């Protein structure tokens, strides 16, 4: 498929491994950037081996899934196996860097400098390049060197404190908020903003992305309300997290779930009429009435199946939706209309399904041009483009500097 998207011509060196970085570079690749994954050659050792083993235990085999056609985070990328600690690997990286626009890494603060590939060093050679570092807490501050994962970042950011049911322990929202929203998406936005700035002033810059910062920005309106009122929101007690009966989740006759979000008075009134609770219409903001209304809604929603309720409520101007599981989402009519589950041809002649491209551009749409590569799949191609001979490539491969 020809590459004609909005980032066509932008070259990205991807040094990342965990969720935030690959998600960021997937977005850039989907929008037509040329992304080269720089991966460690050879079998994993030390902590990398332990990490691969832990992933396999969780059902995500590093060897099997990373290069799988089903791995969306690896699509639209090339792979080169390169040992950055070897003189040859460092030399190749520096030559690649001379031709690149963006470097994305998620090393701990200070590691890039120890490897000699930090922004201060590399920008002397290529002042137009953009260096994006994704970490948990950023490049400064007292938490700079702390280790962590999504749950730790959203705990520090205040997000976890409002997740869950009143009086119960906080609900862990998978790793969606800090890793993907706060990390990967914010990094992609930061890089694209830096590319626009470079188009104006001709200079690259350093993009410092902290997942804790990104998680806090997702909470910007919640913080604004807190600063205005001084009130600390408690999980399960606000209008947006199940604290009122007209914004919540109800089980249906078939054991499935329907979601209701009728906050506005007109939507609330429609909900009351559709469920036979007309007597509650005057009492939307009367919290004394909420327990009784919740009980009656629970009883009412158990009288029909999830699909029967959605069929009824969707025709009466009520904010409602069925809670779909992942196997149901792929067959959803809206998902199909928006082309958000796509089938792509695999090199073996089969088909693989992936989530589609969410950013819809009318003139320069994104595309899936290639599937996740195997480690080192494009090493020979990339090195040949850099001018290295086949003999040199063969020698370095036998030495373990490349794969």
Catalytic residues: 149, 179
Residue 389 buriedness (CB in 10 A; 0-12 / 13-18 / 19+): exposed
Q: Which helix (H) or strand (E) holds 103?
A: strand 102-105
What is the total residue count of the chain?
Answer: 403
User: DSSP class of residue 242?
Assistant: T
| Cα 172 to Cα 135, 145, 165, distances in angstroms | 20, 24, 11
Complete DSSP assignment for 300-315? HHTTS-HHHHHHHHTT
Output DSSP code: residue 392.
Answer: H
For residue 203, the SS3 value is coil
10 Å CB burial of residue 197 (0-12, 13-18, 19+) is middle
Write out the H or E segment, with its range, that includes residue 343. Answer: strand 341-345
Largest CA distance in the chain: 84
For 76, left (φ over 0), alpha (ψ -120 to 50), or beta?
A: left
CA distances from 335 to 2, 59, 330, 331, 392 (A): 25, 27, 7, 7, 49
φ/ψ (deg, to 5) at 361: -105, 130
Q: Is 402 helix (H, G, I), strand (E, B) or coil?
A: strand
For 191, residues 6+ apart whose C-beta sits below 8 A from its C-beta are 24, 28, 102, 104, 130, 132, 207
| Closest by Cα among 292, 274, 275, 314 to 283 | 292
Helix (H) or strand (E) holding 102: strand 102-105
């Amino acid at each position: 498929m020809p590459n004609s998207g909005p980032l066509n011509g932008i070259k990205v060196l991807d040094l990342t491994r965990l969720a935030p970085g690959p998600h960021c570079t997937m977005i850039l690749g989907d929008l037509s950037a040329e992304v080269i994954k720089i991966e460690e050659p050879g079998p994993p050792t030390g902590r990398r081996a332990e990490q691969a083993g832990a992933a396999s235990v969780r059902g995500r085999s590093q060897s099997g899934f990373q290069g799988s056609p089903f791995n969306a985070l690896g699509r639209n990328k090339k792979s080169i196996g390169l040992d950055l600690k070897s003189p040859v690997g460092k030399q190749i990286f520096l030559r690649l860097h001379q031709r690149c626009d963006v470097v994305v890494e998620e090393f701990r603060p200070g590691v890039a400098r120890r490897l000699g590939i930090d922004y201060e060093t590399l920008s002397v050679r290529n002042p137009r390049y953009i260096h994006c570092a994704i970490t948990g807490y950023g490049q400064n501050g007292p938490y700079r060197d702390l280790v962590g994962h999504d749950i730790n970042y959203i705990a520090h950011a205040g997000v976890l404190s409002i997740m869950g049911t009143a009086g119960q322990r906080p609900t862990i929202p998978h790793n969606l908020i800090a890793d993907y929203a706060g990390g990967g998406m914010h990094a992609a936005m930061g890089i694209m903003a830096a590319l626009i700035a470079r188009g104006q002033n001709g200079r690259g810059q350093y993009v410092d992305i902290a997942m804790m910062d990104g998680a806090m920005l997702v909470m910007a309106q919640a913080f604004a309300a807190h600063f205005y009122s001084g009130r600390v929101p408690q999980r399960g007690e606000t209008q947006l997290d199940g604290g009122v009966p007209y914004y919540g989740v109800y089980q249906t006759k078939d054991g499935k779930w329907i979601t209701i979000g009728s906050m506005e008075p007109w939507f609330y009134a429609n909900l009351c009429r559709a469920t036979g609770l007309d007597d509650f219409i005057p009492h939307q903001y009367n919290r004394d009435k909420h327990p009784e209304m919740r009980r009656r809604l629970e009883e009412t929603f158990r009288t029909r199946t999830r699909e029967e309720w959605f069929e009824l409520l969707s025709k009466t101007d009520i904010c409602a939706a069925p809670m779909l599981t992942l196997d149901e989402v792929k067959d959803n009519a809206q998902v199909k209309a928006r082309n958000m589950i796509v089938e792509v041809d695999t090199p073996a002649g089969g088909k693989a399904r992936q989530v589609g491209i969410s950013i819809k551009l009318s003139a320069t749409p994104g595309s899936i041009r290639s599937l996740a590569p195997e480690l080192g799949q494009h090493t020979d191609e990339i090195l040949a483009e850099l001018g290295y001979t086949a003999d040199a490539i063969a020698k370095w491969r036998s030495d373990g500097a490349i794969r």
